[in-house]
Amino acid sequence: MARFRILPKLKRPVEHYVRDHIFFGILADPQAMQLRDAIGVDQLMWGSDFSHHGGQSLATRAKLTAYLGDALGDVQQKIAAGNVTKLYDIRP
């Protein structure tokens, strides 16, 4: 482990780097929704994986609504579309 002593000291806490550079694609992960505040709502991006086996199928809107459950409207919008459009600079 001595080789790691030469790494420079971080200027910010690790969680700041995670929130700036790591994003999580989620399909149907109830745990991610339970931990969304700890993970960071801005880091979560929902995907349907349609048309692969086990994907969300043609009932995507109903399943997404149920999956996002108790999240507030702005949180639902970020996870369902806003975060991915911001990350990839997609303009409607």
Mean per-residue pLDDT, 84-88: 94
User: How big, in percent rounded to 5, are the helix, strand and coil portions of the chain?
Assistant: 55, 5, 35
The predicted pLDDT at position 41 comes to: 94
Rg of the chain in Å (alpha carbons): 17
Domain ranges, residue 72? 22-87
In angstroms, what CA-CA distances link 55 with 9, 59, 78?
43, 10, 21
| 28 belongs to a structural domain | yes
The predicted pLDDT at position 21 comes to: 92
Name the pTM for this structure: 0.76
How do residues 27-84 score in pLDDT, each as one tens digit?
Answer: 878 898 899 998 899 999 998 776 666 555 667 778 788 888 888 999 999 999 999 9
| 77 belongs to a structural domain | yes
Structural domain tally of the chain? 1
| 15 belongs to a structural domain | no
The predicted pLDDT at position 64 comes to: 82
Mean per-residue pLDDT, 21-30: 88
- Could you check whether the bond before residue 57 is cis, i.e. omega within 30 degrees of 0? no
Contact between 56 and 49 (Cβ < 8 Å)? yes
